[in-house]
Amino acid sequence: MNIASYIDHTLLKPTTLLADVEKCCEEAILYHFAAVCIPPLFVKKAVALLKDTQTKVATVVGFPFGYSAIEAKVAETVLAIIDGVDELDLVINISAIKNNDWQFLASEINAILPVVRRGNKVLKIIIESGILSNDEIIKCCDLYGAAGVDFIKTSTGYAEKGATIEAVQLLRKHLSEKIQIKASGGIKTYTFAKQLIDAGATRIGCSSSVQIVNEAAQQN
């Protein structure tokens, strides 16, 4: 298994420096990671640094809590596309899920997905599986599966509980094969990353990417 090809090399701390982004991109080139996932402020810089490489540039929308107004999320999406982003990781409105307001969530995705599609970009939906019930996760699969998003992503990394094998298995069971799964949140070892891939994840979002690749090299 080429673990690097599954990894979104992630740098989303609120104190991120330009030097951190430059290092993140250098590591992505060196290890051939699938993507870097960086704050919106640095998308233009990352696009320039990763030009003529296979590594994609991803950024976040509505991060990390998801309760930004729909119009604000649309604006974030548009600006990221203008800046040259390849992939968008969108935090849905978790408060709406907890209030059982699925109509709001439908309105949210119906406003954002067409913008992404017009730009020919990839959309990953972050559902924060660690704080949802199984029933809520299944309802997310139904809603976003019907919408036709590209990925459902487990977590932001900011909730108390991140990715789990059980959540990935549940997502895989209730999604069509066309929709991929990104596991993220608390993934720090090659063993755990491989378990998540075996459970159905096709992307791994982590900041311990270099450590994971080095562990993989030692074990294989």
Are the CB atoms for 49 and 20 separated by under 8 Å? no
- Candidate list 56, 89, 139, 150, residue with the active-site label: 89
Residue 38: its pLDDT value, please? 98
Domain residue ranges of the chain, discontinuous segments joined by +:
3-219
What is residue 109's three-state secondary structure? helix
pTM above 0.85, yes or no: yes
Enumerate residues 6+ apart whose C-beta is below 8 A from 122.
Answer: 56, 58, 86, 87, 88, 116, 150, 151
Catalytic status, residue 182: yes
85-138 pLDDT per residue, tens:
999 999 999 999 999 999 999 999 999 999 999 999 999 999 999 999 999 999
Tell me which fold the domain 3-219 belongs to.
TIM Barrel (3.20.20)
Catalytic status, residue 142: no
Catalytic status, residue 153: yes
